[in-house]
Each structure stands twice: as C-alpha cells, then as structure tokens.
Amino acid sequence: MNNSTMLITGLGVISAAGNDLSETLRSFEQGRRNAGPVTLFPTILKSPVFEVRQLPAEYYLEGWRTLSLALVAVDQALKDARLADLSGFRVGVCMGTTVASQLNALQFYKAYRENGAAPMTSVDRFLKGNLAEYIARRINARGPQLSVVNACSSGTDAVGIALSWLKSGLCDIAIAGGSDELNHVPYCGFNSLGIANQGLCAPFDRDRKGLNLGEGAGAMVLETREAARKRGTSSGLFLAGYGSSSDAYHLTAPSPEGVGLRAALHAAMAEAGLEPGSIGFVNAHGTGTHDNDLVEGRVLADIFGPDLTMLSTKGFTGHTLGAAGGIEAVFTAAGLREGWIPASAGFENKDEAIPMSPVREKTAITKGFALSTSLAFGGTNAAIVIGREADA
C-alpha cells in the first residue's frame, strides 16, 4: 500500500475567517481579520478574540457550541466528499477538542457549591456531548471513535490517528479534525498565563505580544483509495504522513531546542517518504507567543532552510485550541488545492532571533506537499504531511 492511498476527499471549516472554505479564502485574499471583544460571555478581560459571529441557525444547539461548530464543518466535509450515505462503510470519527471534554459549567458549579445541589442540564449535555461520540451518532458512523484531548495539538493528532486507523484497516473512511468554542474558562486561563495579547496577534513578528483565542472547527473526510473507488469518487489530495512526539520538558513551555517538534516533523516526513526539499510550504502553529514562535521558527529553519515558504493562519482565526489542528489541516489542503497561500496575517517585522520569516503576500504554491504543525501544552508536538497528486 503506498502512502497516497489515503485520500482527502472532503474539507469543511468554520472560523472567524468564514463560515465555509469559500468565505475563508475570500478573507484570506482580502487580509480580513475578524477579531473583536468577547461577546459570548461577560468578562472584564480585554484581550480580543476571533469569534464565529454568525453560526448558521440550523446548527444551533443550546449549550453545545463546540458540537454546533463541529457539525457545520463535518457536514461541509461530507458534502464536499459527496458522501450522503455512509451505509456499507466502516466510518471512523476522530476529533480533537479541549472545551467539549470538560464540565466547566460555571453556573452549575456555582449552584452546587452554594446549595449542595444543582440542575443536571449541564451535566446531561456534557455526558451526551462527547465530541466524537456525538458526531458518530449524529451521522450514523459505524466504526472507531476517539475524542482526542491533546490540548493545542488535538486536531492534528486526530487527523494523524485517522491515518493510522485507515492504514490498519479499522475503517474504510474516517472523519477527522477538531472543534472548540470560545469559552470563559480557558479565556481566563490563557489570560492568567500572561500570553493573551491585548491587541491583535502577530505570529513570528519581532514585536509579537501573545495570542488571541478563537473558535471554530475543521474536518476532513479521509478514505482509502479502494473506498473512494467503490463509491465512484476521487481526489487530488492525500494524507501522506503523521508524526507526534513529546518534549518531556515542561507543562506549559516548549523545549527550547524543539526536541519534540523536530522528532514529530522527521516522523511525518519519513512516513511520507519525503526529503525537506519536497515541501512546498508549512502552515506553522505560530501562535504569536514569544516562546512558541521562537522555537518553532528555529526548528523549521534548521530542517527546511531559511527560505522555506511558511505562514501562520492564526492571524485570521485566533488560536482555536483543540480545533486548530483540524482547521489548519483544512487550510493546508486548500493551499495545495488552490495553488496559493495568503499573507501571514499580523507579520510585519522580522525577528532576528528567528532565521526565517512567514510570507508577507499571497504566494503561489507549486510543489506537491505541505506540512501543518502543532505544539501543545504538556509538550506534545504533532505534524502532518498533505500531498497533491501530480496530475491533479
């Protein structure tokens, strides 16, 4: 079985940059950054965020914003894959998240603390709202299910796990990605860490001052070439490799040498059977925090050279945590499919400590492979390689 047998046949995405891929690409072309103050919950904190302003009404689920966002992306991906009927296929669902894994219901907890009792509405939502389980039931997928909670690398890991499932024959088709809503609890948490930017984020910029949180979902339909052939479809994109590795260094800071990221990149490239020169561009994690961008920029420059074409799309979406890897996988695939990537929003001044810079303008992509990277709390690192078939 060669690596190109795991096709990417469907893409779906929703974020502050747009409610679908077409809208997102328009935002990219226009350099539109839809950030603003928090409107989803009351807070005294001022760090701007990238909210999805108009969640499609038909997807609104009270108290389940992460699931709503996920369903938008999954439905788009299924439609893009022309996959209306899943019967006859073993379909796996592997989704990354952070918020949907936690019972961080403030009002429930406040009532419980005060009264020793509280309505079970939030608890019931939590118990029925596990991301992968919920999606699998909703679309009637009969196959493996995993909700990946690897913090900010969850979405990338979810896509990589789907690749493992397909290769091992656990399913014929996999829906993979990530989803997270903007939530009060992590918003307070990231502000407490002192890494939330009070202005707009500027990934890899010399004067970067931290991240902006965002929300959204990204989903891909992956399938074996055989499954695609059976249902009479094809695709010019494929998932070629996945690597994951731990820094074993610190709970919140990346290893200064980027030990884990290096290993993850090498593993993903090795699985894809590629040398660094084959990579057309890297969609970097690029949060806009000092440490992340420094470590990531140095590692990427070291492996791919200082002239690597790279960007961070978080200037358009904010940091969407568990969704980021899924959203950025879709953006990476779209970059290959469309043959261009946008300017890396927020970047203006080169940081001399980082021996490379992201692209400043819309850039044509001619090579057939691209990487998407994620670095996470806890020192987990993940990378995926996406390919475009030569004749596509």
| Residues within the interface to another protein (CB under 8 A) | 43-45, 90, 98, 101-104, 106, 109-110, 112-113, 116-117, 120, 123, 127, 130, 132-133, 142-151, 157, 161, 164-165, 167-168, 170, 184-194, 244-252, 259-260, 263, 267, 376-380
CB of 370 to another protein, least distance (A): 21
Min separation Cβ 90 and another protein, Å: 8
In this structure, which amino acid lies at residue 57? A
Residue 101 CB, nearest approach to another protein (Å): 4
Helix axes 21-30, 324-338, angle to 10 degrees: 80
Query: Cβ neighbours of residue 124 under 8 Å, at least 6 residues apart?
Result: none
Minimum Å distance from CB 30 to another protein? 33
DSSP label at 314? Answer: H
Pick the closer one to another protein by CB: 185 or 359. 185
Residues 143, 275: Cα–Cα separation, whole Å: 34
CB count in 10 Å sphere of residue 335: 26
**Cβ distance to another protein smaller for residue 92 or 346:** 92
Min CB(149)–another protein separation in Å: 4
- What is the distance between the alpha carbons of residues 191 and 205, in angstroms, rounded to a whole number? 20
Q: How far is the CB of 74 from another protein (least distance, A)?
A: 17
Helix (H/G/I), strand (E/B), else coil: 164: helix
Nearer Cβ to another protein (192/234): 192
- 363 versus 373: smaller Cβ distance to another protein: 373
Which of residues 61 and 149 has its CB atom nearest to another protein in the complex? 149
Contact 218, 80 (CB under 8 A): no
Nearest to 222 by CA among 144, 148, 277: 144
Shortest spacing between CB 349 and another protein, in angstroms: 29
Residue 132 or 294 having the CB closest to another protein:
132
Distances (CA, A) of 122 to 31, 66, 100, 134, 161: 38, 14, 12, 15, 30
If the CB atoms of residues 194 and 277 are measured against another protein, the closer one turns out to be 194
Q: What is the DSSP track for 222-271? A: EEEHHHHHHTT---SEEEEEEEEEE--S-SSS--TT-HHHHHHHHHHHHH
